[in-house]
Chains A and B, each alone.
Chain A
């Protein structure tokens, strides 16, 4: 039942998201514009060049980060795991910072460089996978998830410090460029950039089809999973690959977006009262999309000209949700570990 409601809710939020913006466009006109009817050229451009790409970006970001968070939480058997907490987003930031700041050496502005978006995405994905691999190597040594979490946070600090050092030696212009990137942004992606993001997120999501079984088995612990014929090494690498593609590409284009990856899997588990990934992964996909679209709707401050940075919004929405879940359910741990 609820599996049918969720897609409908996503569609409704998608429509609300597209209908909001500094220029008021009547809903009826939006519908006809979306169906290809050019009601007014300026409106047509606003919808197709700005609002639709932004809404699709929100959709991809919500889905990608949430699924990545779910994988992390199961793999690390830790309810606090997520692309952000384990330093993966920091890794992506490091990659992006390296690209932005090192461009000064070549005397080219990144915005003028044709392959800029590809370079950013490759750097962020590379940075994300690098940190994830190091965290996983640490996971082989330290068995308890608490230590691992601390290791992840330390990596976050190290990459953060490296970025600070780079900022120290950079021009104001570059620092501003990086700072704006860290605010997170769902807008500003051209259709061609959106294609790139779409391809990466789709690839990352498709990997989950083969991960349902191993992730379920991992809920019983590594020894049981092995005894059921699950290839642990392969599973770990698949999760690394999937999360790097998802979190890496999203962070590259939209900045480090906090909390969605951590909070959505918990929401989905509680909503459906299950940890079985066969039901959980589709649910996380829908809930992730809804949460991100909602955050973006709130960030646009409907009725005003202002738009808040999306990264602030996800934390403002996400943190109270997590606190509420913990207080209401008290046993967030039960869901997972």
Chain B
């Protein structure tokens, strides 16, 4: 996809890992990826498979075991530390000790590669900071102390800091790890719109399978055989790569639901329609009933306006009416 777009970051036969007693310990081998401007790419894989190591290598902090990382066609280790910082900015998982710093102090740090030792900002620096603050929407937090922020707010601040660094590439290592669902969605949306609007490369490691599937332009999957598979999310779902990589147990990616071991409690014939039918089915399946065409237990959903009733009938008992799914479960 986006063949016409300019490729910014790519790797050539990159192998990442560690040295232990002068022995190479490769974690991911022969990584060949190319990421273009404006792409939001999610790096996924099981814990301990080497996502962070790959990100560290891509950001130039850790040397590769072999192969090259190239930015705009130039080897990352040929850039000086400061020049590299002008290209790549970082957002990490852990809630670091923010110290007694204001949000403004932290966002300002994004300009550190560009400014002198007296950390005096030029008008241009100030303008870039303002832009970053507005893009992330944290103008109202600027005078707050960082240790008073919620996890979600702090992560936004760190993203604003990364934006203020104004590199073409932002690398994020599980930026949503400690956040609640609302904040996760918010951060993912933010990153998606940033990638599209700022034309930067945004590369993030994440465990948020559902969110990644919905927002990422492309997925990089760290497989268990130390290889890296890439593709657009939908392809990876349909060809089963995701199932294999994550060794998913009972989670049906194609429907986005958990599969329960249905039938262990018996079969139920369910009649009804709409949401009431869907959620009754959900509850029954969770409890281990299989929904079938014909069964001795029959549940009929009766709807009249706002009121919903469930009628249960089986071979032994006459019909019983209940008014909630909870009661229905007890009766069954």
Interface residues, chain A, with chain B CB atoms under 8 Å away: 77, 209-210, 212-213, 216-217, 219-221, 223-224, 226-231, 269, 273-276, 278, 333-337
Q: Which residues of B contact A216 (CB under 8 A)?
A: 105, 109, 112, 119
Give the total number of A-B pairs whose CB atoms are below 8 A apart. Answer: 90
Question: Is B99 an interface position by the 8 A CB rule?
Answer: yes
Q: What CA separation (Å) do A305 and B138 show in the bound complex?
A: 61
Q: What CA separation (Å) do A333 and B96 show in the bound complex?
A: 12
Q: What CA separation (Å) do A228 and B83 show in the bound complex?
A: 10
**B99 engages A212 (CB within 8 Å):** no
Dominant secondary structure at the B interface: loop
Measured CB to CB, the closest approach of chain B to A77, in angstroms, equals 6
Q: Which residues of B contact A226 (CB under 8 A)?
A: 61, 81
Q: Within B78-117, which residues are at the interface with A (CB < 8 Å)?
A: 81-86, 88-90, 92, 94, 96-102, 105-106, 109-110, 112-113, 115, 117
Measured CB to CB, the closest approach of chain A to B105, in angstroms, equals 5
Measured CB to CB, the closest approach of chain A to B244, in angstroms, equals 32
Query: Residue A213 contacts which of B85, B96, B117, B147 (CB distance < 8 angstroms)?
Result: B117
Q: Within B43-61, which residues are at the interface with A (CB < 8 Å)?
A: 59, 61
Q: Which residues of B contact A269 (CB under 8 A)?
A: 100
**B97 engages A213 (CB within 8 Å):** no
Q: What CA separation (Å) do A229 and B59 show in the bound complex?
A: 11
**B113 engages A220 (CB within 8 Å):** no
**A275 engages B100 (CB within 8 Å):** yes
Measured CB to CB, the closest approach of chain B to A270, in angstroms, equals 9
Q: Could you say which interface size class chain B belongs to? A: 20 to 34
**A223 engages B90 (CB within 8 Å):** yes
The 3 closest A-B pairs by CB, nearest first: A229-B85, A337-B97, A275-B99
Question: Is B118 an interface position by the 8 A CB rule?
Answer: yes
The interface bits of chain B over 235-271 (1 if a CB of A lies within 8 angstroms of the residue's CB, else 0) are 0000000000000000000000000000000000000
- Provide a sorted-by-A list of 9 A–B residue pairs whose CB atoms are within 8 angstroms: A77-B97, A213-B119, A228-B89, A229-B81, A230-B112, A231-B81, A273-B100, A335-B99, A336-B100
Q: Which residues of A contact B89 (CB under 8 A)?
A: 227-228
Q: Which residues of B contact A274 (CB under 8 A)?
A: 100-102, 105
Known A219-B99, A221-B96, A274-B100; judge A212-B61 contact (CB<8 A).
no
Q: Which residues of A contact B110 (CB under 8 A)?
A: 228
Q: Which residues of B contact A212 (CB under 8 A)?
A: 117-119
- Chain A's closest residue to B80 (CB) is A229
**A334 engages B147 (CB within 8 Å):** yes
Q: Which residues of B contact A231 (CB under 8 A)?
A: 81
Q: What CA separation (Å) do A126 and B94 show in the bound complex?
A: 38
